[in-house]
Chains A and B, each alone.
Chain A
């Protein structure tokens, strides 16, 4: 079967999976056509918080990426590597960590009180922004650092020999890179933040800090207004999908060729070196303190957790395994430019609507609660699909181009080509994307809130329930367990991909 046929079939299947539940929901409840003031406020808040989060993450990433580029220190490679950690850190864990650091009784507020300054507020608009910057700043730093690193060493040597001023230096070397890369970074973070749910659920809420996704959840749970939920889901699809499609045209990485001579000495003044060091230390403290405090506070209670937490952990593992394999299977079928556009629908469609719509479709055939695990796994797979495609696509395209002539000349095609060439050449990326998808699913607090009950609860939902009942010690220990499971599953799959 031709590759394009596989992409088309898979895209149709995917659109069915994504839109089927929404259509089922509209069919069940009808569609509300008027937007209330609170809906408009939610849309406005969604846009504003996404714009703030994207802008702050992008701007803050610039000095950090420059500092990391210019400074050489022991462990630099490790630092750059673990900058990827927040991306796979479960949202609920990060939120707990941020509350411990920036909350009313957190480290930062205690320090501020000690020196007689006011306190920072973690809940509401700025709390949502803080959490989004926490998740997306490392992503922006890594993309920018890569782009700055791609500037050929000869350019730095030439500029250095011309003895240009600071501004001229910036305009000659860094501005062209920033101009090219920053809009793409901004668009990606903006799109991710548009569909934010767990952060808004835990740190936001109320009329002033509700995202569209959170409003959908509230329509289901508190107002039981399904037609409103369907209407907001349609609004979200239009918003996110148009941004995602637009970002495909903005993000056009262009390689600058040089002799690959890297510059290790940037002729920096002592003042610049101090500034760079301070920037790096503050960034590392901001990113890793919330993670470290979870480990610190959670460790003592992790072995005395109640059995219900381990039961929830076991369910999370099952869902993560199912979901990651489904996501990577779909990702392999859709690892083309066209496939990526369809795959991006995953972050545009509300997981809660997907779950609720599927629930309604399944209720005609029996008890949908019995299918909670596969439905949650499927929704999680679709949510992580855009990231999986992003990982697989560049190498998949390279393999097709590089081995096209050889494959044709030995008559290798179809399933045989997939077996001997595609899967074997892609095994590292497959391992990596299985790791990312499993970690994302492990930490997901989305559709499970619909099916969640005393009997069916994943670990993130369990933590949310523990937080709600003020059992903070157990919540922290469970958060540590969840982090270990998320990082562990990522490391395991990534290692398998490298070892096989």
Chain B
């Protein structure tokens, strides 16, 4: 469970207030452009400081921790892999030895790449892979990080509908298998409908919810106007 307690994030004129508890499982984050979806996830992952308030994961306060100490992994819209490093080198960064890729790390990396279906691309550079394959590699790194929370900042928005749907289902399966709580930013209510049990709605500088997705998508629900 993730709990936002009287959280305020201010950036210049922009202001976002959050006071809610995100349940375990798959939750989508919906709101118009500029509503603060990425800001909310950045605050949770530690890439943006809070103006005030506290964030707890289960009963542990995490908002004072540095990003790499927080129990969150994040996949961004772009720049998820270092372009000059091969996939195995990219994934090795979150394994034990950081100066070179040991045999045991390589084996470990192979196993997660098998799970995401790109083990044969282990020595490729990101530029030698498609957008979907790059997203799978980023996902593999998240599995290696073994964090209980996964934040997805529209990582699949540049992909075609089939690839996107395939990847969202892959995330869903892996998160269930490893008991990971997922927050997915999306513009598309269909994504939320596909798998997200719950939904956070960003409206009028506040985070509303969580709602059950079916309720949020209802004609008179909080997404009225957005839909």
Contact = CB atoms under 8 A, between A and B. Distances in A.
Interface string B132-160: 00000000010001000000000000000
B94 interface: yes
A247 to B, nearest CB: 32
Nearest to B75: A409
Contacts of A170: none
B179 to A, nearest CB: 21
Given A421-B82, A424-B84, A408 B99 contact: no
Interface string B61-99: 000001110000110100111101100010001100011
Nearest to A413: B68
A410 B79 contact: no
B47 interface: yes
Contacts of B45: 409
B68 A408 contact: yes
Contact of A424 (B47, B66, B85): B85
A370 interface: no
Of the four ranges (under 10, 10 to 19, 20 to 34, 35 or more), the interface on chain B belongs to 20 to 34
Interface string B37-71: 00000000111000000000000000000111000
B79 A403 contact: yes
A416 B85 CA distance: 13
Contacts of A408: 46-47, 66-68
A419 B141 contact: no
Main secondary structure of the interface of A (DSSP, over half): helix
B82 A405 contact: no
B82 A406 contact: yes
A405 B68 CA distance: 11
Contacts of A405: 47, 76, 79
A425 B68 contact: no
A411 interface: yes
A425 B84 contact: yes
A402 B141 contact: no
Main secondary structure of the interface of B (DSSP, over half): loop
Nearest to A419: B99
A92 to B, nearest CB: 40
B37 to A, nearest CB: 16
B76 A406 contact: yes
Most buried by A among B74, B85, B93, B99: B93
B93 A409 contact: no
Contacts of B80: 406
A431 to B, nearest CB: 15
A409 B67 contact: yes
A420 interface: yes
Contact of B93 (A402, A420, A425): A420
B47 A416 contact: no
Contacts of B145: 410
Interface string B94-122: 10001100000000000000000000000
B99 A403 contact: no
A412 interface: yes
Given A408-B46, A416-B98, A403 B74 contact: no
Nearest to B78: A406
A406 B79 contact: yes
Contact of A410 (B66, B94, B99): B94
A408 B94 CA distance: 11
Given A402-B79, A416-B99, A420-B93, A409 B74 contact: yes
A402 B84 CA distance: 13
Interface in A405-438: 405-406, 408-413, 416, 419-421, 424-425
Nearest to B85: A420
A133 to B, nearest CB: 41
A408 B93 CA distance: 11
B47 A409 contact: yes
A312 B72 CA distance: 60
B91 to A, nearest CB: 9
Interface of A: 402-403, 405-406, 408-413, 416, 419-421, 424-425
Given A405-B47, A408-B68, A411-B93, 18 more contacts: A405-B76, A406-B76, A406-B79, A408-B66, A409-B45, A409-B47, A410-B68, A410-B93, A410-B94, A411-B68, A416-B98, A416-B99, A419-B98, A419-B99, A420-B89, A424-B84, A424-B85, A425-B84
8 nearest CB pairs, A to B: A411-B68, A408-B67, A416-B98, A410-B93, A409-B74, A424-B84, A406-B79, A410-B94
14 contacts: A403-B82, A405-B76, A405-B79, A406-B82, A409-B76, A410-B68, A410-B93, A410-B141, A410-B145, A411-B67, A411-B94, A416-B93, A420-B85, A421-B82
